[in-house]
Amino acid sequence: MSAAAQPAAEPTLAEQTRSVLARAVSLTVTTHGLRHDLVGLHSVNARGQVRMRLQADSLPAAHLACAPRGALAALVEFTDIAPVAVRDRVRARVTLSGWLTRSGQDTDADEVDLRLDTARATLATPETTVTVGLDELVLAEPDPLAVDEGSLLTHLADAHQDAVTRLTRLADPWLLHGAVRVLPLALDRHGITLRCEYARNQRDLRLPFPAPVREACQVGEQIQLLLSAAQACPKRRHLPARP
């Protein structure tokens, strides 16, 4: 699949990648074939560059200290997990491969600050895996809802499941045939995606907003517009409440 091919009313592939990086609180870094899970020890700057703060005696730091020319080949992986407890919660994986180097900004003798100079970026979803251009990645910005998405979706699922059910009126009737429950899966400035679960599988329903949003406080208005449109649709069969 070409990175240039992109459905209408969705973030670009580079924006999707930047959004995964923006909301990730953990990552896995692999050096010399050894994997290390880091939680709360990284940051991503405005250009999408990843930095990690590690203990000076950690294995990646030790590997880097022995690396020729002060650069260590590394693979850094981010996993995007749906905030609502749907089936198959992994929505995407971002893999950055490149070189770890010292950033020169160490502030503690017991810690080292490392910078990843990315050579290749890939975005994997349940449908496909694509390579994202590095120039596109640097120029892209995270979706404006990326950081707030988790709290918005969990609030919708916990406090407004009736609204989620009413939104299914916008779906083609065949999509709801055999569905046992519908939950909010993803949210971005262009729309909301619902996960329709059946006895043995699931499908996703993408509902574009009437207009893109620029900040989290505008989401409620767009959801209300979708609900108004759903109200005008013929009534579908009742879906069971979320257990």
pTM: 0.90
First to last CA, the chain: 38
Q: Does domain 13-139 have CATH number 3.40.1210.10?
A: no
List pLDDT tens digits, range 56-95.
888 899 999 999 889 999 999 999 999 999 999 999 999 9
Q: Which of 110, 130, 133 has the alpha carbon at shortest distance from 122? A: 130
Q: Considering the domain 149-231 in this protein, what is its CATH number?
A: 3.20.180.10
Q: How many CA atoms lie within 13 A of 154 on its CB side?
A: 9
Q: Classify residue 108 as exposed, middle or buried by CB count within 10 Å of its CB (0-12, 13-18, 19+).
A: exposed
Q: How many CA atoms lie within 13 A of 69 on its CB side?
A: 5
Q: Which SS3 state, helix, strand or coil, does residue 62 take?
A: helix
Residues of the chain with CATH 2.30.110.10: 13-139
DSSP for residue 141: -
Q: Which of 186, 233, 232, 243 has the alpha carbon at shortest distance from 23? A: 186
Residues of the chain with CATH 3.20.180.10: 149-231
**pLDDT digit string (tens) for the chain, length 243 residues:** 334 444 457 899 999 999 999 999 999 999 999 999 999 999 999 999 999 999 888 889 999 999 988 999 999 999 999 999 999 999 999 999 999 999 877 767 789 999 999 999 999 999 999 999 999 999 999 999 999 999 999 999 999 999 999 999 999 888 889 999 999 999 999 999 999 999 999 999 999 999 999 999 999 999 999 999 999 887 655 555 455
List pLDDT tens digits, range 176-191.
899 999 999 999 999 9
Q: Which helix (H) or strand (E) holds 117?
A: strand 111-124
